[in-house]
Structure 1
Amino acid sequence: MKPTDLGTLFDDLVDRGVSTVVELSRPLDIAPDHGTTYDVGELAALVRGAAGWLHAAGVRPGDRVAVVKENHWDYVLLACAAARVGAVPALLSDHLTPETLQLLLKRLDPALLVTTHAVLDHARDNETDLMGFARRTLTLDGPHPGALDLDRLRGHEPPRPVSRDPDDPLVVNHTSGTTGTPKLVMHSTRTLIHGLAATEAARLPVVSSKPTDTVCSALAYCHGRAIPWTASVLWLAPRKVVVIADADGAEPVLRAHPPTTLEALPSIFVRWQPLAERADNPFRDVRLYVSTFDAMHPPTVRAFLGATARRPLWVQVWGQTETGPLTFRFLTRRSVAERDARHPSTRNLGRPVPGRMRLRVVDPRTFRPVPAGQPGLVLARTKVRCLGYVGEQERWDAKVVGGWWNTGDVGVRTRTGAYLLLDREVDVIPGQSCVELEDVIEDRLPSVVECVILGTPGELPVPVLVTDGGALDRRGWAHALRDLPALADPIVLTWDEIPRTGTGKVRRMELRTLIRRGHDTFGSGRWT
């Protein structure tokens, strides 16, 4: 038996007798007075209660419910509650600009906007009225002029769970938006629950949660990974689940509940790297690391694999919101230990998910397959591809080529069947790989927390280097460039000066504006 329904997920877990304890890094925004420890029965009751107040707020089957708030796991609980009453939750990051939120809400036309004072006030300060793009607005943190007050809706009895066709819209998540306005990706029960979540809920050696595990997650819970992660991990019933809402300040909860498996955003792994390098780090019991969302660079992987007293495994997953996982690769201490390698890199993405994913590399002009070893656009064929883009269906249609999905990534298929990531098509530099250059520079310069290479026609590629203090050892920089292609003088910034998405990815177009390099790129950006 596998997860079958998002709306009744937690009730189904109760019926299965799952006794997992959930520990939170801070109280949920929808239950600020409860504390930070839950059992599955309490979570099921919380979802039913939220379904009751959504229904009392006027939400009905087929409606869209937009959620914009601070990052926390209650994004997922609200999605379950909305699905329970037959609505379609649309989960939006509060890291999006007010202008972007306004555009996405206009495309969604939600019956209800669930949000907070901070989101509404920030939008107002930027001359944007988000409430004008939803029929009703509900604030989670007290009364707000023109909005429904949550305290007046609590206690309403929820209606019976509403069933829906497995191919009907279930959830809307947005893409990261590194190259522009995020797309609103719509999934169904068949793709998100029967496909992605159920696949992960199968008990597999090493990579699946065990009954003795303490499973820790530090994700952006509004994004497409959060719901399949929640459903599959709890279905496997580990001893404990630890949910980190905020990367900064997470050390106490990590020490109180040392994880045995850890999945985090790449940006969070980077921020926690100094902690992992300490002798008293809280990762001593980790047997399994999982990374998705973005490329991981060798120094960070090496630091976490070296932090544990176990024999750990790192699972690097490449995927997209539209498709779920595309490839996976196992990394070990040995595979990332070659410090003296000429160009250490983790851009080998491994192989497609067996039996569920097919990939091909094609010429970007003709879309004809290219031989192994030759770069091209990577296309994917999968049964769990999303239904479309809300408000931009023509954009979605343009990315489907004869049943194949255009990922917008440029890569190479090796003769062994593995795939090497070169770059996003919009970020590509002819004859080079920004991802590889970033790997090498970060590996050679430990003081560089993050490196971003930006290419512009007619100019040398510009390296933007992130350091803790905004300073750079110029002698070390010159030595790091010894066998690399010519680069422009580096621009050195701090972490907080870099424009980022809700998942910590760099907003490259905004970064170009920040450093005054314009928006001209070698890539077309046609398939972003």
Structure 2
Amino acid sequence: MRPHDMGTLFDEVAARRTHTTVVLDRPFDIAPGRGTEFTVPQLAGLVEEAAGWLHAAGTRPGERVAVVKRNHYDYDLLACAAIRLGAVPALLSGELPGDVLETLLERLKPAVLVTDRPVPAHHARRVLSLATPVAGELALDDVRGTRAPAPRHRPDDDPLVINHTSGTTGTPKLVVHTTRTIIDRLARFEALRVPVVGTRRDDVVANASSYAHGRPFCWTGSVFCLAPRKIVLLSDPASAREVLGAHPPTTIEALPSAYVRWRPLARGADNPFRDVRLFVSTYDAVHPPVVRTMLHASRRRRPLWMQGWGQTETGPLTFRFLTRAAVDRATHARHLGRPLPSRAKLAVVDAETFRPVPRGRPGLVLARTKALCAGYVGEQDRWQDKNSDGWWNTGDLGVRTRSGAVLLLDREVDTVPGLSCLQTEDVLEDRLPEVVECVVLGTPGRPPVPVVVTADGHLDPQRWRSAVAGLPSLAPPRVVTWDDLPRTGTGKVRRRELLTRIAGHTGTHGTGRWT
């Protein structure tokens, strides 16, 4: 089976009488009394129930349903419920700051807003509260028991789902995908039983993601069709010790920030990653020490790390596989691999003239893919500006090697003349095992500022001086703990906000035009 209609996906999988068990780290926010284990038919029933709730709240075909809540996989169940009604779900992370959320809701103008946080009522026609409702809001108890209408099917090129970009450098964009772009051209491809990296029927598949984003929605379309023995869904990486300990995965996909937080767990006696044959990482580059730790935590003979690079707008563009031997030799995470065969093409061009540059020289990375999103809600002119003759401006600076691989340097907005922030972060993390994470920020007129995360917020000054030997000039480090950094829902550092805290402004060497 391969996915197509996300509104009836779980019904179609259930009809095949598969024996997949779904395990959660905590009950769904939309079904708090139903425990933490589900069958696929039970998930199908919950999606149909939720469609009834949304219909009772006033959702009609073609309208938008916004979801803003705590991170959990029921984001994707609500998305499927809205799609079943012919509506368009817009999934917004519950980690968004209030002013950013207001901006996005104003652009969306949803008919119904499903939320567990206080939101001004004027942003939606009706608010369905998952917490204690205030005057004028509906509670789940007000709409339970409403029978859902028959599923409605939409043309493949009509809007299907709206997800937002990470927002590390400002207000996120609202990305519109269609059935053709995100399901037919991405999820259906992933639903193939590819040797070695494909999901097997006896796999225990784990995922620790930010479920408001586009990647887990696409993943849903593929993994349930492949019907593994068990699917384990983590809403919080901190639950890995208990939940993955009880259900050791054989494949796992997680946010880069989750892998970072799991390093101590992977080294411990109760390591739950011992049976993993395939680690998958998307969203962002992962520094070599993290990959090294995870691969060596597996007791399999040849575990693999699969690194995907892409964007919310495009889906995956390149891939790279790492073995223990390869990552033990690696000194940076800039190598993103090669474009997906027959799926994506890349070009590197001069940032001002947009003419191709020779291989080995840095430039802006452009991508061509049939999976490109249909636009940005409320900012279509911005989407048009980044899309030229079918080539999408990723906003990343990189280099094409002679073999066709891509070496990522930095986001254009984060660039520092004569320095790759990403490469510098790699080197510092490799030389300082006690560093959990390093972020290098560039601002005109000053040396780049390294912000260093350690477990206790302290770092030996002599160790630092040894680590920066041979590197370009850097400002003294700002040493902080994990919770001191402003982060997005995917765990990425909000660089612009952090720069404002440190430098008092958001000025960078880059133009920021392509973010």
TM-score, scaled to structure 2: 0.99
Q: Is the partner of 2:472 in helix, strand or coil?
A: coil
Q: CA separation in 1, counterparts of 2:120 and 2:305?
A: 41
* Distance in 2 of aligned mates of 1:361 and 1:275: 39
RMSD: 0.9
Shift of 1:499: 0.5
Give the structure 2 partner of residue 523 of structure 1: 510
Identity %: 63
Deviations 1:26-53 (A, max 9, x none): 0000100000000000000000000011
Number of the residue aligned with 1:419: 406
How far 1:142 sits from its partner (Å)?
Answer: 4.1
For the residue of structure 1 that corresponds to 2:366, the secondary structure is strand
Structure 1 gap ranges (5+)? 121-128
**Which of these residues, 256, 276, 281, is aligned with residue 291 of structure 1?**
281
Is 2:480 aligned against 1:493?
yes
Aligned twin of 1:196? 186
Q: Take 2:344 and 2:502, find their aligned partners in 1: how far apart are those partners?
A: 39
Superimposed CA distance per residue, residues 44-77 of structure 1 (whole angstroms, 9 cap, x where no aligned partner): 0000000011111110000100000000000000
1:262-292 per-position Cα deviation (integer Å, ceiling 9, x unaligned): 1100001101111011133111000000001
Partner of 1:100: 100
Deviations 1:383-431 (A, max 9, x none): 0100000000001010011210000000000000000000000001122
**Alignment-derived partner of residue 125 in structure 1:** none
The amino acid of 2:282's aligned partner reads T
1-structure distance, mates of 2:511, 2:132 = 46
Partner of 2:42: 42
Q: Would you say 1:456 and 2:443 are equivalent positions?
A: yes
Give the match's secondary structure for 1:250: helix
Q: 1:166 aligned to 2:156?
A: yes
Paired residue secondary structure (1:226): helix
User: Cα offset for 1:204?
Assistant: 0.3
8 Å contact from structure 2 (residues 348, 365) kept in 1: yes
Match of 2:271 among 274, 281, 284: 281
Cα displacement (A) at 1:517: 4.8
> Which residue in the other structure is 1:386 paired with?
373
Of residues 243, 249, 255, the one that matches 1:259 is 249
**Structure 1 residue 401 and structure 2 residue 409: aligned?**
no
Q: 1:187-220 deviations in whole A, cap 9, x for unaligned?
A: 0011111111101001101111111100000000
Q: Is the 8 A contact 1:178 1:501 kept in 2?
A: yes
Q: Tell me which residue corresponds to 2:326.
A: 335
Mapped to 1, the partners of 2:349 and 2:323 lie a distance apart of 31
Shift of 1:14: 1.2
Aligned twin of 2:121: 131
- Supply the distance in 1 between the matched residues of 2:22 and 2:163 (Cα, whole angstroms): 24
Contact 2:309/2:316 (CA < 8 Å) preserved in 1? yes
Match of 1:24 in 2: 24
| Aligned partners of 1:324 and 1:384 also within 8 Å | yes
CA distance in 2, matches of 1:142, 1:510: 31
Which of 337, 342, 366 aligns to 1:355? It is 342
Q: 8 Å contact 2:350–2:356 — kept in the other structure?
A: yes
Residue 18 of structure 1 deviates from its aligned partner by: 2.1
3-state SS, counterpart of residue 217 of structure 2: helix
Matched residues in 2 for 1:46 and 1:347: separation?
42
2:6 is the alignment partner of 1:15 = no
Q: Is 1:477 the equivalent of 2:467?
A: no
Q: Distance in 2 between matches of 1:130 and 1:267?
A: 31
Q: What letter corresponds to residue 72 of structure 2 in structure 1? A: H
Does the alignment pair 1:428 with 2:400? no
Helix, strand or coil at the partner of 2:325: coil
Paired letter, 1:32:
P
Structure 1 equivalent of residue 310 of structure 2? 319
Deviations 1:324-383 (A, max 9, x none): 001000011101113xx7xx1121000001001000000011111110000000000000
Contact 2:245/2:270 (<8 A) preserved:
no
Q: SS where residue 164 of structure 1 aligns?
A: coil
**One-letter identity of the residue aligned with 2:382:** R
Q: Provide the rounded CA distance (Å) in 2 between the counterparts of 1:101 and 1:482.
A: 43
- Answer yes or no: is the 8 Å Cα contact 1:113–1:131 preserved in 2: no
| One-letter amino acid of the counterpart of residue 345, structure 1 | H
Residue 54 of structure 1 corresponds to 54
- Rounded Cα–Cα distance in structure 2 between residues aligned with 1:145 and 1:298: 52
Separation of aligned partners in 2, 1:132 and 1:272: 41
Q: Is the 8 A contact 1:30 1:140 kept in 2?
A: yes
User: AA paired with 2:366?
Assistant: L
**Secondary structure of residue in 2 paired with 1:151:** helix
* Residue 513 (str. 1) matches residue 513 (str. 2): no
Cα distance between partner residues in 2 of 1:131 and 1:289:
42
Please state whether the residue corresponding to 1:398 is helix, strand or coil: helix
- For each residue in 1:277-329, what CA deviation from the matched residue of structure 2 results, as whole angstroms up to 9, or x when unmatched? 11331110000000011110011000000001002100001010000001000
Corresponding residue number in structure 1 for 2:147: 157
Q: Which amino acid aligns with 1:420?
A: L
In structure 1, C-alpha distance between the alignment counterparts of 2:139 and 2:476, rounded to whole Å = 54
Cα pair 1:101 1:130 within 8 Å, conserved = no
User: For residue 444 of structure 1, what is the aligned residue in structure 2?
Assistant: 431
How far apart, in 1, do the equivalents of 2:127 and 2:35 lie? 26
Give the drift of 1:251: 1.2
Task: Judge conservation of contact 1:66–1:113 (CA < 8 Å) in 2.
Answer: yes
Counterpart position of 1:184: 174
Q: Distance in 2 between matches of 1:247 and 1:27?
A: 15
1:507 shift after superposition: 0.4
| 1:243 aligned counterpart, secondary structure | strand
1:306 corresponds in structure 2 to: 296
Runs of 4+ in 1 over 4 A off after TM superposition: none
Question: Which AA in structure 2 matches 1:81?
Answer: A
Q: What is residue 68 of structure 1 aligned with on the other side?
A: 68
Match of 2:10, SS? Answer: helix
TM-score, length basis structure 1:
0.96
SS in 1 for 2:289: helix
User: What SS does structure 1 have at the residue aligned with 2:335?
Assistant: coil
Partner of 1:89: 89
Q: What residue number does 2:205 align with?
A: 215
- Does residue 367 of structure 1 match 2:368? no
Does the residue aligned with 1:459 lie in a helix, a strand or coil?
A: coil
Match of 1:237 among 227, 232, 237: 227
